[in-house]
């Protein structure tokens, strides 16, 4: 993997954001709206539940902020691909001597930058309005963040592969794919609440579920659950490997059949 090629691709995507500030709105507007809705709901529930649910606001806000790590990481991969489609630059990228891994690495880095912008902003707002800080999780925020970042990258590769397979008519999948798993990954409620019970096994097969379960345990009991951590890491290795294989095989098949040219010129 050539670092110069990766840095050139990253610079190209950064220029897009710098020259079109409207692209930054989606990094700011929707996350703030979601945080405000769940934050005020949490405060309402806490006020009426009293001591019965002492950490409800922290659970909700922590879940929403960490969920945005997955979503922005996924968007970094999928939207970067769509940016090349929208600007008619896709063929230029893949005609150049750019390996699949170099292309993916650049989108991973862009996703990381997007996360830094959004999570920093949400953290400041949540502390200002609700007196909740993600740093209440102490050092555990790092393994949580890392695992969710990898999960988001895997979802981004799957999203891109689906768009390559089905064409521009499937562009909405760039936003929809993460929400396919959101009801089952226990973002703002424990796995035990998911019904029917057999769906709980589906939930536990998702690496992000173990992160959110570990987050709630950390906020409530101030203990780091190593079992959830190792399950999240192991499942992420599998998810990333499968997603990488799906992306590479779909892209290679699209190239061999000449569908990439048709897709890029639609």
Decide which of 185 and 44 is more confident: 185
pLDDT at 28: 79
Q: Where residue 49 falls among pLDDT bands split at 50, 70, 90?
A: low
pLDDT at 239: 92
Whether the pLDDT of residue 199 is over 80: the answer is: yes
pLDDT at 209: 92
Whether the pLDDT of residue 154 is over 90: the answer is: yes
pLDDT at 53: 53
Q: Which of 64-78, 89-103, 172-186, 205-219 has the lowest mean pLDDT?
A: 89-103
Share of the chain above pLDDT 90, in %: 14
pLDDT at 263: 63
Interhelix angle 173-181/56-86, rounded to 10 degrees, is 150
Whether the pLDDT of residue 135 is over 80: the answer is: no
pLDDT at 237: 94
pLDDT at 210: 92
Q: Which of 141-145, 177-181, 238-242, 258-262 has the lowest mean pLDDT?
A: 258-262
pLDDT at 14: 80
């Amino acid at each position: 993997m050539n670092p110069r090629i990766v840095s050139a691709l990253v610079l190209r995507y950064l220029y897009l954001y710098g020259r079109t500030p409207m692209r930054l709105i989606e990094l700011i507007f929707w996350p703030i709206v979601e945080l405000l809705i769940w934050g005020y709901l949490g405060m309402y529930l806490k006020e009426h539940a009293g001591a019965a649910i002492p950490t409800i606001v922290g659970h909700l806000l922590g879940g929403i902020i960490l969920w945005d790590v997955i979503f922005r990481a996924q968007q970094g991969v999928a939207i970067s691909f769509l940016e090349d489609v929208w600007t008619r630059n896709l063929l230029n990228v893949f005609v150049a001597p750019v390996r699949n891994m170099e292309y993916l690495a650049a989108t991973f880095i862009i996703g990381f930058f997007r996360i830094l912008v959004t999570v920093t902003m949400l953290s400041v707002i949540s502390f200002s309005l609700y007196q909740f800080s993600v740093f209440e999780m102490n050092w555990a925020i790092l393994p949580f963040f890392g695992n969710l970042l990898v999960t988001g990258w895997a979802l981004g590769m799957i999203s891109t592969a689906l768009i390559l397979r089905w064409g521009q008519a499937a562009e909405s999948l760039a936003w929809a794919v993460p929400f396919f798993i959101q009801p089952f990954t226990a973002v703002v409620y424990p796995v035990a609440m998911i019904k029917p019970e057999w769906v709980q096994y589906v939930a536990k097969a998702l690496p992000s579920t173990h992160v959110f379960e570990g987050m709630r345990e950390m906020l409530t009991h101030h203990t780091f659950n190593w079992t959830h951590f190792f399950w999240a890491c192991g499942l992420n290795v599998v998810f990333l490997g499968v997603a990488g294989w799906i992306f590479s095989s779909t892209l290679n098949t699209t190239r061999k059949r000449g569908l990439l040219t048709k897709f890029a010129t639609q």
